Structure 1
Amino acid sequence: MAKKWMSMAIVLCIGAVLALSGCSSNTGNGGNADTGNAGGANEPAGGNGKDDGKKVTITLLNAQDNGIRDKFLPDVVKKKFEAANPNIKLEIISVPYDQFDSKMNTMVAGGTPPDVWSHWGQSGFVDYNVRDMVLDLTPYMATFDNPNISQSTLDIYKIDGKQKGIPLNIYSSMIFYNKELFDKAGVTVPNYKPGDPAWTWDKFVELAKSVSKDYGKPSAVYGFTYGMGEHLLTYSWDWGLDVFDPAYATGFLDKADLTDPKLVDATAFFQNLIFKDKIMPTKAVEESIGKIGDPLLTGKVAMSLVGSWVMGGFKDTNLKFGVLPLPTGPAGTSTPFIYADPLMISSKSKNPDAAWKLVQFMTSPEMQLEMTKTTGYPPSDSVAYEEWFKQYADLTDTAYLEEVNTAAIEKGKESPNHLIAGYGDITSFMLNEQQAIFNKEQDPAAVLKEMNPKFQKLLDEIKQKSGK
């Protein structure tokens, strides 16, 4: 269900975003609609689309992100939205990232799902869609009024002809590094071309070793942390294996062989970064470092593979940083993660018209521009995307940043947590089971073999619970 309509669409949509063309108008009415009122034959289901003077409350569920979106939503979005819509009260519910799924499930089970949310937790769009949680926005699209968000961008979340979400942000992933740490070590970081076969993981290890010191001590500086995907099932893409590939067509993983040699080799490589190469902390140490603050910002880590949302923290602290494309793996590929985050409305929302007004507001040209300037996050609006690069001119080489970011999106793959049903349960399982590898240095092949039947049982349970 997912790859057929999502992976191909994202290549098209990002090409449109990065071309900064904004050439596709999606208003369907010349761009002069009154937001929230489709009117006439296009009148939204579930409401008359008109302001009848009745005060309503809508909720937005947010995953906390070190204070960046947590401040932007109440301080900017809530204040301005309520001022523009005096008959709508916006309630923002913020929970820690790792509690987002459980909070969502609790609210749904209690009959009070959030009116609006994005896939800001461990699960993602496909999981919500297969559970029939997402409202069809097609009846509202006649009033969509941001021509800077191209049709191809909107089509990422157009499923079987139905619009199920409006992209809010589009993130890439790359290697970010603390330039000051390399300057202190007297090390110059080359600007490798994305996809350069000479830029390998072995070369990367050499670079990370040049700035690592005092491994395991309080004074330690670690050369690298892997901040993407959270667990080992995403490590093997550039070793020639995507464990989730069979599931992208349906959204459900029926069977995964954790004993595949490519997954074993990739897992062993990343385990060696901890115990052999000593450039990466154990997962336990990494968690403790994270409690202090962003490891790159605190100077405890020199390089991190992470999403471009991390730049929001750089903006506020004036960190001089650099970027690198992902190294080329043994399979000859370099495959970044892509995160296209949509705003969705609950299919059970009691106030869908008011919720649509919020979605319209947050994806409007004005708010997309204000969002990227305030948070440092990349928007989905092509005009605002230009501003995203400009604001980092004093902190990094923005021309190279744009080159790496563009290539990452063009060659990247949508994060599987957005594409696989039950991904939150899969993540919890993997994080628990992989401790034996990344905290205790046990043999990856043996651990993965032991995990395999338990993982198969979990996959069966996910599908049974869904009724599919």
Structure 2
Amino acid sequence: MKKFLKLALLSSLFVGVLSGVAACGKGEADDKAESNELSVAAWAYDANPEFKAMVEAFEKENEGVKIKIVDIAADQYEDKVTTMLSAGDSTDVLGIKGVGSYVNYATKGQLLDLSEEAEAIENPENFKGNLDGYKLEGKYYALPFRKDIYMLFYNKKLFDDNKTPYPENLTWEEYEELAEKLTTEKDGEKIYGTYHHIWYPILLCTAANQTDSSLLDGEYGFAKEYLDRWIRMQDAGVTMDYSSIKTASVTYASQFETEKTAMMPMGSFYLGKLLNAAKENRTTVEWGITSMPQNEKGAVSTYGGPSGFAVNKGAKNPELAKKFVSFCAGEKGAKAVAAIGMTPAYQSEDVMNVLYTLDGMPQDEESKKALNPDKNGWEMLPDPKAAEINAVINEEYDLIMVEDSPVKKGIDALNSRAKEVLEEDN
């Protein structure tokens, strides 16, 4: 009996040891699996190839790492992320779409401080000031992977048909005259001289940067001449009117790629989309790029907003998340972004040569000038009031452009409302 009990006890201990070893092994395996998994929130993943390019480059560089994409519709993205963070979501990396929402997340303590990661990136001079788009009270809570440049796209064939030289370093007056000249009709369908999409920054941020002004000062008189021109051009029928664009939910890509417009001011993010559309035979448009029109010939001033990544303070895998964000902001991530035809935030000579030599990219000197403006300012720098000011501008710009509010009256209303926001206590 004693012998039986002894054997039973030894057997029990042996099973227990095995179970412990198995449990320990399973725990180590789980920890390893978790350390190699990363969740990344992005907007319209399939429509924005830069996300896939960076993900694939990072996974290739880090064997065994698996990235899970949290894909959110572009027009719902910022509201959705705000809700996620408020609910304590643990998605590791968050794509940063707009400066206003970035400031909100950062000031609520929902993002990790990435200042050390920013300082650790080699040759920071290659950012050419592009880190400033996320500098908030001396710290960085996100790092940029892209910095857009707004420029003028044009349809070569429509210029050729009109026996008109391709545009170079236009003034705004020349641009308006050219749009009138290129407005024609083909097979009973109107072809506009140019197309002005409904995003207010295309006009107002260009105006602010070309007049050394700011959208955060509460004074918008600098925009009057620009707004007058936009209204005058839509009234003349040389560009589709704002109300029609909104009512029909017209996309800028559909207008340009189906040759319904000869020119179009748009961001450099469109370069990659055009190259991809041509590769997939979705468009045969022959296109070129030049600088945004200026008040005077000579130095080129334009603007562009950053796109970047932040690390959720509640991230499951914060160290791997920081590594991913740093990779995307640095040279290797920049080459992945440039390789699909987009302008990265990190712009070393090697990186930009990747962009310049892409198949289908215009190779002329004028195109390179458009990609290297003398000044590429900001859409809106990080500020606690940025989101509120953005909302006010959106509303008043809409009223001006549908011509419910005359330009001067609209600017007065904008000045008044913006000052109220700026004077409010934080």
TM tier, shorter chain? 0.7 to 0.9
- Which residue in the other structure is 1:84 paired with? 62
- Which residue in the other structure is 2:341 paired with? 376
- Residue-by-residue CA offset, 1:359-414 (whole Å, 9 max, x unaligned): 244346444333322x311222522221101115x4524322112221x2x32211
User: Pick from 181, 189, 194: which aligns with 1:210?
Assistant: 181
CA contact (8 A) 2:209 2:378 kept: no
Please state whether the residue corresponding to 1:387 is helix, strand or coil: helix
- Which residue in the other structure is 2:367 paired with? 401
User: Pick from 168, 185, 188: which aligns with 2:145?
Assistant: 168
Higher deviation after alignment, 423-432 or 396-405: 423-432
- Which residue in the other structure is 1:303 paired with? 263
Please state whether the residue corresponding to 1:223 is helix, strand or coil: coil
Gaps in structure 2 of 5+ consecutive residues: 1-29, 279-284
- Residue-by-residue CA offset, 1:9-29 (whole Å, 9 max, x unaligned): xxxxxxxxxxxxxxxxxxxxx
Structure 2 Cα separation of the partners of residues 174 and 128 of structure 1: 30
1:189 Cα shift? 1.8
| Structure 1 residues 432 and 397: alpha-carbon distance in aligned structure 2, compared to 1, 3 A threshold | same
- Which residue in the other structure is 2:353 paired with? 386
- Residue-by-residue CA offset, 1:296-339 (whole Å, 9 max, x unaligned): 21212221111111101221234422222222227998530033
Using the size of structure 2 for normalisation, the TM-score is: 0.75
Higher deviation after alignment, 292-301 or 266-275: 292-301
CA contact (8 A) 1:237 1:335 kept: no
Q: Give the paired residue count.
A: 385
The residue correspondences of 1:288-367 to structure 2 (distance < 5 A) are: 288=248, 290-291=250-251, 293-318=253-278, 319-329=285-295, 334-363=300-329, 365-367=331-333
- Which residue in the other structure is 2:239 paired with? 280
| Structure 1 residues 203 and 75: alpha-carbon distance in aligned structure 2, compared to 1, 3 A threshold | closer
1:147 Cα shift? 5.5
| Structure 1 residues 344 and 268: alpha-carbon distance in aligned structure 2, compared to 1, 3 A threshold | same
Structure exhibiting the larger radius of gyration computed from Cα positions: 2
1:284 Cα shift? 2.8
The residue correspondences of 1:242-281 to structure 2 (distance < 5 A) are: 242-244=213-215, 246=217, 256-258=218-220, 260=221, 262-275=222-235, 277-281=236-240
Please state whether the residue corresponding to 2:88 is helix, strand or coil: coil
Report the residue type matching 2:375 in the other structure.
K
Higher deviation after alignment, 296-305 or 235-244: 235-244
Structure 2 Cα separation of the partners of residues 240 and 150 of structure 1: 26
Alignment of 1:449 with 2:394, yes or no, is no
Higher deviation after alignment, 314-323 or 325-334: 325-334
| Structure 1 residues 301 and 113: alpha-carbon distance in aligned structure 2, compared to 1, 3 A threshold | farther
Structure 2 Cα separation of the partners of residues 205 and 109 of structure 1: 47
| Structure 1 residues 444 and 241: alpha-carbon distance in aligned structure 2, compared to 1, 3 A threshold | farther
Alignment of 1:53 with 2:43, yes or no, is no
User: Pick from 368, 373, 377: which aligns with 1:413?
Assistant: 377
Please state whether the residue corresponding to 1:61 is helix, strand or coil: strand
The residue correspondences of 1:193-204 to structure 2 (distance < 5 A) are: 199-204=170-175
User: Pick from 359, 378, 401: which aligns with 1:438?
Assistant: 401
CA contact (8 A) 2:179 2:263 kept: yes
Give the structure with the larger helix fraction.
2
CA contact (8 A) 1:231 1:427 kept: no
CA contact (8 A) 1:104 1:113 kept: no
Structure 2 Cα separation of the partners of residues 443 and 155 of structure 1: 38
- Which residue in the other structure is 2:73 paired with? 96
CA contact (8 A) 1:116 1:343 kept: yes
Structure 2 Cα separation of the partners of residues 238 and 151 of structure 1: 19
Identity of aligned residues (%): 18
- Residue-by-residue CA offset, 1:88-140 (whole Å, 9 max, x unaligned): 55332233333222112111211116432343246364454444343222455
- Which residue in the other structure is 2:85 paired with? 108
1:85 Cα shift? 5.3
CA contact (8 A) 1:127 1:419 kept: no
